[in-house]
Structure 1
Amino acid sequence: MMSNKPEDVKKDDCAVYVRHAWKAYRKPHYLFTDLEMTMMKGTIYALLGASGCGKTTLLSCIVGIKRLNYGEIWVLGGKPGSRGSGVPGSRIGYMPQELALYDDFSIKETMLYFGWIFGLKTKEIKETTDFLVQLLDLPTAKRLVRNLSGGQQRRVSLAVAVMHAPDLLILDEPTVGVDPILRANIWSYMVQDVKKRNTSIIITTHYIEEATQAHRIGFMRDGQLIAEDSPAQLLSAYGCRHLEDVFLKLAREQQTVEATPKDKHIEKKASSKGVSEGQGSKDKDYGCCGNFLYDVRHFTNPRSFKAIMFRNLLRLVRNFQALLFIFLLPVIQVVLFCYCIGNEPRDLPLAIANNEVEYVSPTETHCTHKLVCSVKNNITHIDEAESLSCRYLEYLETSDSVNLGYYSNVDSCRGAVENGDAWACLHFEENFTQALTFRMHHAIRGQNITDILLEAILEGITLEDTDIKVWLDQSDQQIAYVLHRELQESFKNFTLGMLKDCYVHPNVAKPVVGFQSPPIYGTDRPSFMDFAAPGALLIIVFFLAVAVTSSVLITEKQEGLLDRSYVAGIGPAEILVCHVLTQFIIMLGQTVLVLIVMFAIFQLKCIGNLALVVALTLLQGLCGMSFGFLISAVCTQERDAAQLALGSFYPTLMISGVLWPIEALPWGLRYFALLMPLTLATTAMRSIMLRGWGFGWSDVYLGFIATCAWIMTFLIMTLLFLRLKNK
């Protein structure tokens, strides 16, 4: 094999200087091993090799978006990622193998976006765009990228790489899909640019013969640079007329030299140099986009902020249908919640078997009642009573929750429940009125229970005849609860009415445990909607934000857009903060619509400070957005992000106190639930809306503190994952 590396070159004289470079994708499999590469400034370097040999990974390390496991790379006199090196940044132009363009942008908008990042003025960008459109034979600059042919799209990608006249130009397969005449024009432009500006250019290509125009060629195979020299020297040294023949000879020589199995050979060699997976560079600054604090300070660069916000807002406008759906979806969800959750069940079928009156039909009954009382010697007497069961049913019929149906006997009444035709069966004995008036008469007189029972036996009455026997279908807890309540409240009103008609003070029937009205918080008849609405408001806003942001970064990663932005000089912090600002605008609109629907249209109860409700809702939306960004940073496929987002929805819904009090959870799970992003926030929102508590209450301010803590946690983890993904 032939290396011919200049041994006495200085790093400062080289555009790219690589020594002892090792890069693994998983131990012990290395993409390249002990690789050395030398490229002088002001030259064209053609890097040739088959697909999968490590060319693209090597270029990613050179531009600073990936790290070596071991070794060093110097680019334009500095290490990629170090402060002041300009790499990544405007000193290099990078055309990746992927298209890495926003297909919903026009050519002009694409050039404007990247031009601002590179620090060009708008006027300069326009002039450069006009020149490159003509040079690369592109259509009008107003044409959208998605409407261009594959070859035209590649040329737009090339235009982005060269537009700012970088010191180092790195082109990964720039001439794929380009006709021979245009290919010759591109090579002519690169040669002239090297002569005029002393530009350094690295190019990879499948067309080996076109590499003869390069000053230096590097042949790469199986992770090793097997030869590196000028085209003339390579042809002369191997006695070949074509570079393809040189590559073939070099490949055969490499196979002959390899005496040990590849993986074992590499592992031994790596061990001898102290290489281990994940060791990384010894330079702390080396890696994607510098260190974290530098990224955050670098965000103050106005050109980057302007470019990223322009990109984000333009993409929103271009996807108007999706944007409309994003705003309508929360409104639809809130409307469905308000209409479908927490409202009282109505018209529940209730079967009645009343043996006191004659059965007529399922919908009609001849049911009249009478109660006449008098007071003699300060003692109340029941003079006449008839069909008091009908009086009770009158009270029951006033409820909107039930719909009475009549049956001829108790068996058919119970059968209606068993067949699912009714939710409950009520049975009145034929002497219900007689037994009830007997009990009431003796209770008013204050007789002891022994005397009452004895007299009842003598009159042939059993006290059980006063019972209204109820058989319930309790398969549905909420419906069973409503029926329990309506039956008991109706009987309470029935009893009070009888006492009033018989000149007896209603306190006689008052229960020992007296619930005072109004309650300290809430109402006499609390609604499940009142309980669930605070949590529903937060969870709708939270997971809508998750849905919107969970795939934002994934698409850019898959299409190479994220890496291209990194190489242009934008750091993860800048990208993340601009995405947060853009999505916050959307979330603000969603929140306003949700609050208008809930409080202005459906008149949901809120006795607390509405400003606190708005603030907590916005913070929860920001928290959901941050969680979505974390999912987007962790996952590489949209389907994985969707599964993770959906998978987190139900556990959060179940244990955050949204639908059921966390006090009902097992003690271990209860403490875990308190750590969830929505739990303390839901408690805080419920305290604000239903109790009217302010920020001075611990339940309220802990909800705000927990939400802010989760926002910071999610954002920091997102930044860390964005950086770790590029190692």
Structure 2
Amino acid sequence: MAAVEVRNGYKYYGSKKNPKIVLNQLNMNVMRGSIYGLLGASGCGKTTLLSCIVGQRNLNGGEVTVLGVKPGQPGSGVPGSRVGFMPQEIALVEEMTVKETLFYFGRIYGLTDDRIREKFKILKDLLQLPSAGQMIKQCSGGQQRRLSFACAMIHDPELLILDEPTVGLDPMLREKIWDFLVETTRNSKLAVIITTHYIEEAKQANYIGLMRNGVLLAEDTPTNIMIKFGTQSIEDAFLILSQRQGNEDQLNQIMSHGKSQTLPAAAPLPTEVIDVHEPTAEKPPLPYVEPQNDNGKKIFFTTKGRLKAMMTKNFVQLFRQPSGIIFMMLFPIIQLSCFYMAIGKTPKNLELGVYSGEVSSYAECFDESLQTIYTVNDTCRFNKLSCRYIQALGDDIATRKYYPSEEAAYADARKANTVGYIYFSHNFSASVYEYIEDSIYASDGAIDNSEIVVHIDMTDQQVGYFMQRKLRDTFSTFMNTVVRECNVSAALVKLPVQFQDPIYGSTDIEFQQYCAPGVVMTMVFFLATLMTAAVFISERMDGIWDRTLLAGVSATEMLWGHLLTQLIIMALQSFEVIVYIGIVFDTYNNGDTTTLIGLLTLTAFCGMLFGLFISVFCKSHTEANFVATGAFYPMIILCGLLWPLESMPAFLQDLVMVLPFTIPSISARNVIEKGWSITHEKVYNGFLVMAGWTIIFFVLCLMGIRRKA
């Protein structure tokens, strides 16, 4: 009975007009209970042939059947538990231990934990595996290959495919593995396909296929091949066959001759194939039924064992990498600490020049006996009010530097020794008195001289705006105090700025509090993006992704396994962020904390899917970082975090409203500042926008993963 049949197998890469032919009308039979040695130089098509047999790739022409079914059919078990596959690369998770690795593959294949323990003991003795608690990255190359072989054998497959299994192993262990394979196939229906560079060791195989340039040159028993070509070794027979096939130019000319309407043409090559596997009448194979146990119970989209295996692997990968723990738990803390300590705080160590024409010595301003407001004949009189304002400034706003003249203050400001200066006229107090007494009927000179003249260096606009605001606020407070002490109605006095009680929040929302929701959301989003992209690209580059797919796990199952793992992590991160900024930086929240945690978790979940989307279409970490960085800065600039949306052109305002952060940031700010609940339209629309992007990224990820799978 044939375990594997390939008929007229044809495979090419590239376009139909300019194909690179890998398999050229290849025919192959592998019988149950036998070892089939597939020999050939690197690049001859062996790995591609094996990938077509296990259902990882599809032929462009011809057909292949494995264990009586076409690979990839639902319920066929191929790829899946009927096949064991050991790839050329190690394809194991370096952060896992030897025992965890075998349990991972055992659970994926549907074995119970007790059965895995039994197989672990057997394989450990047979393959001289390292101790159960040793991590993969601490194993030697030979130990890793032996463990990789054990993972392919853990579930007792019906077909075992080994791609260069003995590379890097000592001769004694290679002989032991071959003895095991020979004994196992002799006493069971196990079929083994093994590729090797050690051509002579393939003499122990029941059948040998000699392959070159996508063609099976010969297929027979080792003895018959040596007899037919009159050689004492398989290697010499392979050399003779290669010489008969002509040089590379002739082969390429033959393979590219002619064109077909449906496929690039593939002319048959001369061959010495001796097929000893005569077709025999076989009973139709019975439908394959997966063994049922607790690990095989369905849980929504997968089985209990597979879900446990995938989530265990994902958590191990994260928590056993110091950089992963730092990136996952400490990085948000570091980022938020930098933001709250560096952004929105009062500027320190600023020097402000002061010149008052009312005083001859500034020591007068700090004389405790100085009276700035007194009453004469029931009328207010003012004396050196500039001193009153100088005292009101305080060192918390700026360090005051006094000058004997306006020219000296101006000269120092020009040299950038101060951020600017303020100037009081020589009749400032008298002008303020006249202004209060006569109001709008005061003389022009009184109105002009009752003002504080302020000159600020605006080359540093943030510092300049800060100083202007502080001087304005101090002057407003100063004037209110003067009016109150003189028992003059404030309505009769035209103050520079008239403040009223705000509808929501404080009189002036600090820049830090305004920016905080957007900063936190973008940080959580792109942290999840980078983490996910790094994990998926590493798995694909290390071969773990493909090996798991060949074990029968669907791309959708793998995606959901990662989503559930990351969802737990992101929920913890969101809770950590909210608690940290609330306790350490005393950030107020007038709304529901649960709503904020939910919005942040959804944001992180969306970021994770964006990272997965990037990893599907990027081949390297560098390329993924370029894409993530390229997306990060436009989103930060356009989401209203740095500047009001209302300042943008109308068409751009409409565009940025659909970006992932714009409306969700506004929703978070509405919860924090206004105390609105999730039932309010301007809160739940942030959830809707983020959920919409989550669905979009999820669908794109599924499409990309299935296309690549």
- Return the TM-score normalized by structure 2: 0.88
Report whether the alignment pairs 1:704 with 2:698.
Answer: no
1:662 to 610, 633, 645: 645
Q: Is the 8 A contact 2:353 2:402 kept in 1?
A: yes
Pick closer, same or farther for the CA change 1:520–1:462 going to 2, 3 Å: closer
Q: Is the 8 A contact 1:362 1:406 kept in 2?
A: no
Cα deviation code 1:659-702 (max 9, x no counterpart)? 33322233333233222222221111111111222223222111
2:594 corresponds in structure 1 to: 611
Report whether the alignment pairs 1:418 with 2:417.
Answer: no
Q: Is the 8 A contact 1:235 1:243 kept in 2?
A: yes
Q: Measure the CA separation in 2 of the matches of 1:632 and 1:194.
A: 41
2:74 corresponds in structure 1 to: 83
Q: Measure the CA separation in 1 of the matches of 2:364 and 2:45.
A: 84
Q: Is the 8 A contact 1:104 1:144 kept in 2?
A: yes
**Equivalences for residues 635-674 of structure 1 within 5 A:** 635-674=618-657
Kindly state the Cα deviation for residue 351 of structure 1 after the two structures are TM-superposed.
0.5
* Counterpart AA for 1:388: L
Report whether the alignment pairs 1:356 with 2:358.
Answer: yes
Q: Measure the CA separation in 1 of the matches of 2:259 and 2:299.
A: 38
2:390 corresponds in structure 1 to: 393
Q: Which moved more, 1:247-256 or 1:296-305?
A: 296-305
Q: Which moved more, 1:657-666 or 1:189-198?
A: 657-666
2:404 corresponds in structure 1 to: 408
Kindly state the Cα deviation for residue 364 of structure 1 after the two structures are TM-superposed.
8.2
**Equivalences for residues 510-529 of structure 1 within 5 A:** 510=494, 516-517=500-501, 519-529=502-512
Q: Measure the CA separation in 2 of the matches of 1:660 and 1:364.
A: 42
Q: Is the 8 A contact 1:45 1:202 kept in 2?
A: yes
2:275 corresponds in structure 1 to: none
Pick closer, same or farther for the CA change 1:298–1:160 going to 2, 3 Å: farther
Report whether the alignment pairs 1:188 with 2:190.
Answer: no
Q: Is the 8 A contact 2:421 2:454 kept in 1?
A: yes
Kindly state the Cα deviation for residue 722 of structure 1 after the two structures are TM-superposed.
2.3
- Secondary structure of the 2:187 match is helix
* Counterpart AA for 1:583: Q
* Counterpart AA for 2:705: L
- Secondary structure of the 1:660 match is coil
Q: Is the 8 A contact 2:365 2:388 kept in 1?
A: no
Kindly state the Cα deviation for residue 543 of structure 1 after the two structures are TM-superposed.
2.1
2:703 corresponds in structure 1 to: 720
Q: Is the 8 A contact 1:357 1:366 kept in 2?
A: no
Pick closer, same or farther for the CA change 1:205–1:365 going to 2, 3 Å: farther
Q: Is the 8 A contact 1:360 1:366 kept in 2?
A: no
Q: Is the 8 A contact 2:10 2:22 kept in 1?
A: no
Pick closer, same or farther for the CA change 1:273–1:546 going to 2, 3 Å: closer
Q: Which moved more, 1:161-170 or 1:431-440?
A: 431-440
Q: Is the 8 A contact 2:22 2:214 kept in 1?
A: yes
Q: Is the 8 A contact 1:23 1:70 kept in 2?
A: no
2:270 corresponds in structure 1 to: none
Report whether the alignment pairs 1:430 with 2:420.
Answer: no
Cα deviation code 1:155-185 (max 9, x no counterpart)? 1111111222211110001111222232222
Kindly state the Cα deviation for residue 91 of structure 1 after the two structures are TM-superposed.
0.4
1:470 to 454, 473, 477: 454
Higher RCO (Cα < 8 Å, 6 or more apart): 1
* Counterpart AA for 1:659: L
Q: Measure the CA separation in 2 of the matches of 1:219 and 1:361.
A: 104
Q: Which moved more, 1:536-545 or 1:569-578?
A: 536-545
1:336 corresponds in structure 2 to: 338
1:5 corresponds in structure 2 to: none
Q: Is the 8 A contact 1:102 1:110 kept in 2?
A: yes
Q: Measure the CA separation in 1 of the matches of 2:308 and 2:251.
A: 55
Q: Which moved more, 1:113-122 or 1:342-351?
A: 342-351
Output the aligned Cα RMSD.
Answer: 2.9
Consecutive unaligned residues of structure 1, counting only runs of 5 or more, are 1-11, 277-295, 454-460
Pick closer, same or farther for the CA change 1:271–1:361 going to 2, 3 Å: farther
**Equivalences for residues 114-129 of structure 1 within 5 A:** 114-129=105-120
Q: Which moved more, 1:156-165 or 1:240-249?
A: 240-249
- Secondary structure of the 1:585 match is helix
Kindly state the Cα deviation for residue 258 of structure 1 after the two structures are TM-superposed.
5.6
1:141 corresponds in structure 2 to: 132
Pick closer, same or farther for the CA change 1:267–1:357 going to 2, 3 Å: farther
Q: Measure the CA separation in 2 of the matches of 1:143 and 1:404.
A: 67
Pick closer, same or farther for the CA change 1:113–1:269 going to 2, 3 Å: farther
Q: Which moved more, 1:127-136 or 1:79-88?
A: 127-136
Q: Measure the CA separation in 2 of the matches of 1:473 and 1:71.
A: 80
Q: Measure the CA separation in 2 of the matches of 1:237 and 1:213.
A: 18
Q: Which moved more, 1:159-168 or 1:28-37?
A: 28-37
1:218 corresponds in structure 2 to: 209
2:5 corresponds in structure 1 to: 16
**Equivalences for residues 305-704 of structure 1 within 5 A:** 305-319=307-321, 322-323=324-325, 326-359=328-361, 368=370, 370-374=372-376, 384-397=381-394, 400-443=396-439, 447=441, 452=443, 464-510=448-494, 516-517=500-501, 519-704=502-687
Q: Which moved more, 1:253-262 or 1:23-32?
A: 253-262
- Secondary structure of the 1:582 match is helix
Q: Measure the CA separation in 1 of the matches of 2:54 and 2:168.
A: 25
Q: Is the 8 A contact 2:356 2:426 kept in 1?
A: yes
Q: Is the 8 A contact 1:24 1:69 kept in 2?
A: no
Pick closer, same or farther for the CA change 1:227–1:423 going to 2, 3 Å: same
* Counterpart AA for 1:43: S
Cα deviation code 1:502-542 (max 9, x no counterpart)? 4421111246996531x112211221122112222222222
Q: Measure the CA separation in 1 of the matches of 2:613 and 2:652.
A: 25
Pick closer, same or farther for the CA change 1:162–1:495 going to 2, 3 Å: closer
Q: Measure the CA separation in 2 of the matches of 1:345 and 1:300.
A: 57
1:65 corresponds in structure 2 to: 56
1:197 to 168, 171, 188: 188
- Return the TM-score normalized by structure 1: 0.86
- Secondary structure of the 1:15 match is strand
Q: Which moved more, 1:702-711 or 1:624-633?
A: 624-633
Q: Is the 8 A contact 1:550 1:645 kept in 2?
A: no
Pick closer, same or farther for the CA change 1:493–1:306 going to 2, 3 Å: closer
1:34 corresponds in structure 2 to: 25
Pick closer, same or farther for the CA change 1:297–1:80 going to 2, 3 Å: farther
Report whether the alignment pairs 1:229 with 2:220.
Answer: yes
Q: Measure the CA separation in 2 of the matches of 1:364 and 1:375.
A: 27
Q: Measure the CA separation in 2 of the matches of 1:346 and 1:416.
A: 19
Cα deviation code 1:378-433 (max 9, x no counterpart)? xxx55x44322222323333x73222211122222122222222212112232333
Number of aligned residue pairs? 675
Q: Measure the CA separation in 2 of the matches of 1:344 and 1:62.
A: 69
* Counterpart AA for 2:189: N
Q: Is the 8 A contact 1:92 1:166 kept in 2?
A: yes
Q: Is the 8 A contact 1:106 1:141 kept in 2?
A: yes
Q: Measure the CA separation in 1 of the matches of 2:64 and 2:465.
A: 73
Q: Measure the CA separation in 2 of the matches of 1:401 and 1:257.
A: 83
